[in-house]
Amino acid sequence: MRRICFLMFLLALSVGGYAAQTPEKPSVALLSFGISPGAPSVTVQQILHQLYLDGYLSADDIEALDSQSEIDGENIQIALMEAGWQYNRLGIMVEAALDRDVDVIVAFTTPVAQAAIQTTRDLDDPPAVIFASTFYPFAAGLAEAPCVKPSHVTGSQIVPPYELLVDLALAQQPDLTRLGTVFSADQISGVEGSREVVAIGEARGLEVIQAAVTQPVDFIAAVDGLASRGVEALILSIDSITSRGLPAVVSTASENLMPVYYPSLGGISSDAMISAGYYQQRTQGINTGRKLVAWLRGELDIAATAIDALSGDGVGVNLTVAESLDLEIASEILERADIVLNEEGSKVSDRVTEAVAEARAIEEGPERGAAARAYLDSLQCTDDMIAEQQGQLESQ
C-alpha cells in the first residue's frame, strides 16, 4: 500500500506539469562525478554546442569554458562542477548548485543524478533536473518508470549490451566454461550489470564468478582472485568506478592471460580486448541539449517528458592486446567490428562513419529544428501511457 501511495503521488505530480518559467537570464549547472576523458565530456561538449547554436552561448563563452569552470555570459550563466569522484562530495556539489539559484541541473552519471534528485525532490520550487550518462535509472530510484517520475525530472539512460558481450566472448572463446565479472558494490549500475552477466552466462551454460569492489585500488586483488579460481575471461559491469579502474583491470588480467570484454565501445581505447555497446555519446549530448533548450524557451513540460533509452550494438577490437595475449580474433568478430585498433592506428566501419556524418548533417543543416521537435514529441507521456506504466508497477 505504501508503494502504491507513493506511485499515486508521483502520478499526481506528473499530471500537474512542470513547464519552464523562461527566466530572463537562465542559470544552468552541469554536474559531473569527476573529470575523465570518457562519454560525459563528449556529451557536455555537445550540450554547450546546442546552447551556442540556439543563441545562449557565444563563441567567446565556449572558448572561456575551455579554461574555466563557469561563465556569466550575456544570455546565460553556466557552471561546470564536479565531485572529484568522491561520494561524500555529491550532496555538497548539488547544494552548491542550489546556492547559485540555478534554474536547471544537468546531472551526469547515476550517482550524480541520485544526489540531485534526492536533494531537490522535496523543494517547493526545485530546479529542473535533466540527467544523462546513466544506467538502470529505475533500479537506482531516479524514477519509477519512463513516465512515472518526479515532475521536475527527465533524462536518458544507456542500456549496456551484456547479452551481446557474452556472445562475443563465446564466439572468441568457444571452449569457455568459467566467466568472471567485476563490479562496484556501491553503485546500482555495477550491481545490476553483474546480475545480468550472471543470468546471461548461466543461461548459456557458463559458470560465472563475481567479484565486488568499492574503489579502484581493489581491482588488482579482485582480478587476481578470479584468476586463481580458474576464470578464463572477464566482463566488467559498467559504472563510474569500473570505468576509472579499467586500465588496472586490463593490466592485471593480461598478466594472467585473461582477455577483458567491456560493455562500452570505447573500452578498447583502455586496452579491453573486445568491447561492445553504445557509441553515440555525441547524439546523447545533442538530445540532452535539445531538452535543455526547449525547457529554457518554455516549450517543454518536463513532467510529461519521458526518460528515453539509448542503446547500441557497436563492436570494437584491440588487435594489439589480442596479440599480447597470443590470441587471434575470431573472423566473425572482425567481420562485424565497427572499430579495430592496432599499433598503426584505427579503422572505423562505414556504419559508424555514416551514422556520425548523418547526425552531424542534420544538426548543422536546415532540418535541425524539425529534427529536435520530432525527437521531443517522441518523448511525450500521455495519460494512457502513465496509467499503463502505473498499472505495471502496481502489479509487480
Cell of 289: 541539449
Which residues have CB under 8 Å from 207's CB, separation 6+?
177, 178, 179, 201
Note the pLDDT tens digit of each residue in 254-281. Answer: 999 999 999 998 899 999 999 999 877 8
To which CATH superfamily is domain 162-277 assigned?
Response regulator (3.40.50.2300)
Predicted model pTM:
0.89
Q: Return the CATH number of 2-159+280-311+368-395, one of 3.40.50.1950, 3.40.50.2300, 3.30.1360.20, 3.30.43.10.
A: 3.40.50.2300
C-alpha pair distances (Å), 51 with each of 44, 70, 269: 11, 14, 30
Q: What is the DSSP letter of 337?
A: -
Residue 202 DSSP SS3: helix
Domains 2-159+280-311+368-395 and 162-277 alike in fold: yes
Q: Where are the domains of the chain?
A: 2-159+280-311+368-395, 162-277
Q: At residue 268, what is the residue type?
A: I
pLDDT in tens, the chain (396 residues): 333 343 433 333 333 445 555 678 999 999 999 876 444 478 898 999 999 999 999 999 988 888 788 999 999 999 999 999 899 999 999 999 999 999 999 999 999 999 999 999 999 999 999 999 999 999 999 999 999 999 999 999 999 999 999 999 999 999 999 999 999 998 999 999 999 999 999 999 999 999 999 888 899 999 999 999 999 999 999 988 888 888 889 999 999 999 999 999 889 999 999 999 987 788 899 999 999 999 999 999 999 999 999 988 999 999 999 999 999 999 999 999 999 999 888 899 898 888 888 888 888 778 899 999 999 999 999 999 999 999 999 998
Residue 192 contacts residue 168 (beta carbons within 8 Å): no
Q: Parallel, antiparallel, or unpaired: how do β-strands 70-72 and 77-82 relate?
A: antiparallel
